[in-house]
Amino acid sequence: MSPLLRPPVEGTFPTYYGRYIDPLPDGPVLELLADQVEETAALLDSIGEDLAGYRYAEEKWSVKEVVGHVMDVERIFAARALRFARGDGTPLPAFEQNAYVANADFDARPLAALIEELRALRASTLAMFRGFDAAALARAGTAAGGSFTVASIAWIIAGHEAHHVRVLKERYLPGLQG
């Protein structure tokens, strides 16, 4: 059975990432990723440009910065998946997410452009994962001191986005509607 049909088992990813994977439903992760980006885009459309700079607290990211962060993480994890799938055994470093957001100036960009980029990025991520055979999906590599299989990374990308959508709904939307 393809490792993209059911969530990965313990030991195929660092324990920390269980917080992203565990809440996901069983089923094909590539279908989840395809559906998820459209659901996220619809949520962002409902927020709109006028409110996309909203922060639920001082020092927290704006809605646009959350979207940019989700994209940055997807890019980094997709690049890790590609390297591991191709048999690159070079241990990869961690990255500082706050520095990425601070240096991206996502708030200067239209929300519609960020949504368009999110869709394009997801299409690329999906195409890449669809191109991996079973051997590539089973390969593993090290990043930020932890071991990941290629397949587990698809689940982490989905879970990371789902996490931030929950944060948007729970912490941002009440303030936007209030």
One pLDDT digit (tens) per residue for the chain, 178 residues: 688 989 999 999 999 999 999 999 999 999 999 999 999 999 999 999 999 999 999 999 999 999 999 999 999 999 999 999 999 999 999 999 999 999 999 999 999 999 999 999 999 999 999 999 999 999 999 999 999 999 999 999 999 999 999 999 999 998 877 5
Whole-angstrom distance, CA of residue 113 vs CA of residue 143: 30
| Contact indicator for 156, 17 with CB cutoff of 8 Å | yes
150 part of a folded domain:
yes
State how many domains the chain has: 1
Residue 23 is assigned to a structural domain of this protein: no
Q: Is residue 1 part of a domain?
A: no
Containing domain of residue 58, as a range? 42-177
Query: Does 105 map to a domain?
Result: yes
**139 within some domain:** yes
Domain of residue 158, CATH code: 1.20.120.450
Q: Does some domain include residue 96?
A: yes
Tell me the pTM: 0.97
